[in-house]
Structure 1
Amino acid sequence: MESSPTGSSREESAISRLVLWNIDLTLLDVGRVMRAAYAEAFEKVTGEPLVYLTSVAGRTDSEMFFEFCARNYVDVEPDTSILGEFLDALEESFGRRAEELPAKGWAMPGAAASLAAVASMPDTVQTVVSGSTRANATAKLAAFGLDSYLDLSIGGYGSVNYPKSSLIQSIRLHAAGEGGRAYTEKETVFVTDSAPDVRAALIGGAVPVAVLSGSMTEGQLREAGAIAVLPDLTDPRAVMTAVHQVTA
């Protein structure tokens, strides 16, 4: 995990709040393009068509690949290099489709304004915890001008074969840079639309704030452990208030 661009410690930067964002269905939706990239990459490395998909909620691309294999009756060894081949093929396939993102996808209403609002909060840094590889996550955000509000150098990505809970924990430990103390659980927020992500936040040591932009109901998100649930991101002040209240 890379350190912050300045490499400053917590005391030097005075950062006391870490806000993590899920990307897909929380900040944007590029599912049509992503599914085409999955299918192409899967067939390229396995020689078999990707007929049966799996839920992306709370999953990383590394986790999804092995479930794709299981659901499509493709035998692979977990310790082989095929996962790396798949991720490379996925980045290549998605990269070729990057120009399609504005036409076939969209940013969630209020996403840019909410990111800007949270970025303006004192003593706050924000980044992403994404199931996508770093290259693909960056391409998604850049397509809608959302990348400028985030420190992507300290994010957690599906490029490594770890669950999101581990990615959250790693960011908490390293986001302040070398010499900086780890962010505590009460200083870390994970904003997401899915119940699996809410559970990952609790395991990884972050306060889960949910948004009703995916397929989950408020009841499902609260049952999973969400401390606050927002109807959407169209009210930046409400987003700021939720982040402030759960870290106060």
Structure 2
Amino acid sequence: MRPRTPTAEESAISRLVLWNIDLTLLDVGQVMRAAYAEAFEKVTGEPLVYLTSSAGRTDSEMFFEFCARNYVDLEPDTDTLADFLAALETAFGARHEQLLAKGRVMPGAAASLAAVASMPDTVQTVVSGSTRANATAKLVAFGLDTHLNLAVGGFGSVNYPKSSLIQSIRLHATGEGGRAYTEEETVFVTGSAPDVRAALIGGATPLAVLNGTATEGQLREAGAQMVLPDLSDPRAVMTAVHRATSR
């Protein structure tokens, strides 16, 4: 379906549209879990027996929770987190050929990215819990990087929560006239309740989709006022983004 032509009113609005990757645009959870296990055991010497939810978390946050849940004590004055992230990129990169076989694109993700990209003065990027290298590899594998400016994205390569990543992107990505984007011009598309809360803290309007395990009630309770069933209707996605940035 061809995206509709934006109206004159829409053309006058500057937008920063942030996308969560996992379970919003695509799902490579099976491959990612195997990479986590390999990297964790390589760095700590202990098997990764107990996992944790990745919803709303960065890889940095997950590593420390992995350690707590698996009773691994970190030695002081060591850069174990950096070692884990490096090992994780190596382990995930080695499984690159498994992404298409064991992963999937969420319905309508590619078409919705293209549709939002057709809206004038709109910048799209990602806020991902994965490191920059792993997040990029996921998107490129499924051809979803075309309409995204990954140079201004936020990634789990740094030890900051997603709310801080959202705020940093909003303040440092330049909108019309070289100014920072306001909270009213920024949207975060996600299927995770913790991400919805991160959006509100970081200064973005959450646009929730029912792609993940969260229910509509959980997403609304977290603070989402707009909830779409999925991304299969690009026109509905464009309309929701417009409404979020024209209040």
- Look up the SS of the partner of 1:33 in the other structure: helix
- Counterpart of 1:189 in structure 2 is 187
- Look up the SS of the partner of 1:238 in the other structure: helix
Q: Write out per-residue CA displacement over residues 188-217 of structure 1, whole angstroms, 9 at most, x where no aligned residue.
A: 000000100000000000000000000011
Structure 1 length as normaliser, TM-score? 0.92
Q: Measure how far apart 1:80 and its partner are.
A: 2.8
- Look up the SS of the partner of 2:243 in the other structure: helix
Q: Write out per-residue CA displacement over residues 9-48 of structure 1, whole angstroms, 9 at most, x where no aligned residue.
A: xxxxx98100000000000000000000000000000000
Tell me how far apart the structure 1 counterparts of residues 118 and 64 of structure 2 sit (CA, whole Å): 40
- Counterpart of 2:7 in structure 1 is none
Structure 2 length as normaliser, TM-score? 0.92
Tell me how far apart the structure 1 counterparts of residues 76 and 235 of structure 2 sit (CA, whole Å): 45
Please say if residues 188 and 206 of structure 2, whose CA atoms lie closer than 8 Å, have aligned partners that are also in contact: yes
Unmatched tracts of structure 1, length 5 or more = 1-13
- Counterpart of 1:8 in structure 2 is none
- Counterpart of 1:140 in structure 2 is 138
Equivalenced residues, count? 234
Q: Percent identity?
A: 84
- Counterpart of 2:238 in structure 1 is 240
Report the CA distance shift for 1:168/1:77 in structure 2 as closer, same or farther (over 3 A).
farther
- Counterpart of 2:173 in structure 1 is 175
Unmatched tracts of structure 2, length 5 or more = 1-11
Please say if residues 13 and 245 of structure 2, whose CA atoms lie closer than 8 Å, have aligned partners that are also in contact: no
- Counterpart of 1:206 in structure 2 is 204
86, 95, 103: which one pairs with 2:101? 103
- Look up the SS of the partner of 2:178 in the other structure: coil
- Look up the SS of the partner of 1:209 in the other structure: strand
- Counterpart of 1:40 in structure 2 is 38
Letter in 2 for 1:235: D
- Counterpart of 2:9 in structure 1 is none
Tell me how far apart the structure 2 counterparts of residues 225 and 195 of structure 1 sit (CA, whole Å): 8
Please say if residues 227 and 246 of structure 1, whose CA atoms lie closer than 8 Å, have aligned partners that are also in contact: no
Tell me how far apart the structure 1 counterparts of residues 104 and 53 of structure 2 sit (CA, whole Å): 20
CA RMSD of aligned residues (A): 1.3
